[in-house]
Amino acid sequence: MSTKDLPGLIGAAALLLAAGAATTHAAPATDHEWASPEFAEATVHDPSVIKVDDTYYVFGSHLAAAKSDDLMQWQQVADGANAANPLFDDVQTELRETFEWAQTDTLWAADVIQLEDGRFYMYYNASRGDSPRSAMGVAVADEIEGPYRNEGIFLRSGMWGQPSEDGTIYDARIHPNVVDPDAFFDAEGKLWMVYGSYSGGLFIFEMDPETGFPLPGQGYGKHLMGGNHSRIEAPYILYSPETQYYYLFTSFGGLSADGGYNVRVARSRQPDGPYFDAQGNNMAEVKSDPALPLFDDASIEPYAMKILGNHLFTRELGEDGEGLGTGYVSPGHNSAYYDDATGQYFLISHSRFPGTGERHNIRVNELLMNDADWPVAAPYRYADKAPQAQPGQRKVKRPDVVGDYKVILKDKTITADIETSRFATLTNNGRIQGDIEGRWWFGGNDRISVELSDGDYEGVLSYQWNETAERFDLTFSALSDAGLTLWGSRLPDRPTEAVLQAILDDIEFSSIPLQNDIDLPVSATRNATIEWASSAPQWIATDGQVNRPEHGLGDQVVTLRATVHYDGETQSREYPVTVREQAPDGLLAHYSFDGNLNDTTGQQAPGQVSGARIDWAGGQIDFVSGVSAEAAYFDGQSGVRLPGGLIASHRYSVSFWLNPSALNAFSTTFFGARNPDSWISFLPMGHGFVNGHTMLWSGTLWYDAGTGMNIPQDAWSHVAWVVDEGALSIYINGEERFSGAGFPHVFSEGTGIFSLGVNWWDLPYEGAMDELRVYEKPLSAAEVMELSQTP
């Protein structure tokens, strides 16, 4: 049997590395001990949940699916709308009519439900994307993992100038884009479907539980929310037997990392609405202003209850763990699940993450019902802890709540900005002091009430897994009548001296000599402050500005002194730091490939031959006639590993000659990486987004710099690119072929990995290379032209 909706700055210092402080902290104030959870990631955009026996499944866009027994360890089941996808025998053949109507080769957010006949009904949909030309249909399978067999299309949209499903001429301002379905049973056992995205908004109609198709005569159904192309989509309705409300979850904003996607909720006593927020606003009236440009967000921002959006619990100096902290970017297109055995609610969404571009994974957050009968999302991803499975077994006491917190207050703007954590103390006398001010009350039964200047918040206390600190921390999640969310995550109790010591322990400089300005932190955990002094401000100023010695003066050692102030006490520590002298004429390395892999400047180690991957042994590099004396020849099975840390700046240039024997998509010539998630690669033949043209691209923070041409096969071409604090220029044979801004800062810590002809994934380069030069300065156009004419 299955159940689905059944009633019942980021900104780490350029060379300042965060290292976990080796200090102790107080145990969570609870009677329970919980083991550290284990997670396994899977990728399903727009996940829609169904539980079959003891297994949770999520289905989403691009025919992706994953499963889990515990909502933490996910296993990928399927991905890609292609013949290899196991959910269909051949989806492109089976759903040919859908793809032809929608003018696409992929699918959008799918939803699966089990009906009374025991079979599984997949509501598939496809859209052109740049218009609401879409189709929705149903396919049926005997088993949850398929194969599914198409039963046919039952809704279409985007038929410009033609009669629509309700008989009137299609108008995208008032008619839906027929995507993002959610089928569910109401408390009376009736089957419904809610759907829609942008365009005319969200709609609902009643379904036939025997056929899985809509009951006849409903057209597009009843309008619930949105219109005039407002950025509202991904409806999902969950009934709570506890509150007897139907909760309509939606996503506002755009789904990309810079789109400001966020999850909001409204509620109704009836499955088909009307739905309201806590201020009594009817969601059917929430739509964009037709007098304003398309996708007007300002008109819709004030409405519905915002429970999840861009946020980051920033890891501050002196706190446990490593990295930036824990947070989400553009979380949304959620589904929700109620477990009638435990009384738990779950929010299942996809999310991107701070500093990682468009990479996304499934995320599950526990939903907790506050005293106003609104669901609030727990601040951290869900981690099972059996003692808290039953609400009555939670054992938060008032003294547990008193202490220091990282707090996040979410506003309702639709923006790419990330709400970062602030510091506050909940005092024993009910005051809130720090970066936010107010009062708090403990309500018993894990309830907390908060009064701030912008309103009153009703919330729930719970222990949640802090992924950065790797422990369960006491948290609260509260919601105001205005639909604003307040989160708190309690910090462990520490004596003042231990806090000061942890901050100083956490300051660590790379042993690699500095080439860039550094971000000397002036604040740390619990609003501690840091002052800096320098023994040689001519080389490193107290604001972190680095002035490198001229060539011939040698590297210079500078002593930086950090003084930390916290809670009326002070501690200091000194740190020796080396500043690298400038390279002669800015030239870091010159590999001429004249019978060897040596750097002719003598500053760098020789290149080392590798196999077909950057870290594989083997391989062979031969030397052939080049543009100047000899050149290195890559046989399509070999590469060259260059010295680590070759580039350690945001201002650099790379110049070399190429003579490809073959043009293969994705084959790299020059590759540099901070790690497998952050890299740059120069391709003679690029990917489809630049029409296969020669390109420089960057991974994770994706950047596609196409040149609009391909360098020729079996002929020499000079290539060069110049990076100047994010400004990028690419030259082919001395002619600028690309110019753009915002190129990622991949190399800043002096720990980069570099190779020629190979990376960690793709077919190696086949062809010759000559006269590789790497500069620690941006070359001028005239200097690039000279290199292209004088090997």
The pLDDT tens digits of the residues spanning 12-53 come to 333 332 323 323 333 444 445 678 899 999 999 999 999 999
Residue-wise pLDDT tens digits, 499-528: 999 999 999 998 878 887 888 999 999 999
Which amino acid appears at position 133 of this protein?
R
How big is the chain, counted in residues? 791
Burial pattern 162-180, b for ≥16 Cβ within 10 A else e, equals eebbeeeebebebbbbbbb
Mean pLDDT across 299-307: 97
Q: 162-170, long-range: CB within 8 Å, 24+ apart, which pairs? A: 164/219, 164/220, 165/219, 165/220, 166/219, 166/220, 167/219
Report the C-alpha gap between 89 and 76 in whole angstroms. Answer: 18
User: HSE (CB half, 13 Å, CA atoms) of 221?
Assistant: 29
Lowest-confidence region among 312-321, 578-587, 767-776: 578-587
Identify the bridge partners of residue 440 per DSSP, sorted by sequence position. Answer: 450
Residue 83 class from Cβ within 10 Å (0-12 exposed, 13-18 middle, 19+ buried)? exposed
Q: Residue 536 — very low, low, confident or very high, per pLDDT cuts 50/70/90?
A: very high
Residue with token string 């099975």: 637
Does the active-site annotation cover 31?
A: no
Helix or strand (DSSP H, E) at 94: helix 91-94
How far is CA 179 from its chain centroid?
23
Collapsed DSSP state (helix, strand, coil) of residue 785: helix
SS3 of 590-634: the string is EECCCCCCCECCCCCCCCEEECCCCCCCCCCEEEEECCCCEEEEE
- Tokens encoding 380: 């951290």
Q: Is the pLDDT of residue 115 over 50?
A: yes
Does the active-site annotation cover 46?
A: yes
Q: Residue 355 — very low, low, confident or very high, per pLDDT cuts 50/70/90?
A: confident
- Tokens encoding 332: 């949304």
> Of these residues, 94, 180, 233, 277, which one is catalytic?
233
Side-by-side strand order, sheet with 325-339: 375-377, 361-369, 344-352, 325-339, 311-314, 419-420
Report the C-alpha gap between 80 and 86 in whole angstroms. Answer: 10
| pLDDT value, residue 706 | 96
Let me know: does 115 contact 105? Beta carbons within 8 Å: no
| pLDDT value, residue 32 | 55
> Of these residues, 5, 46, 94, 517, which one is catalytic?
46
Tell which phi-psi region holds residue 777, choosing left (phi > 0), alpha (psi between -120 and 50) or beta.
Answer: beta
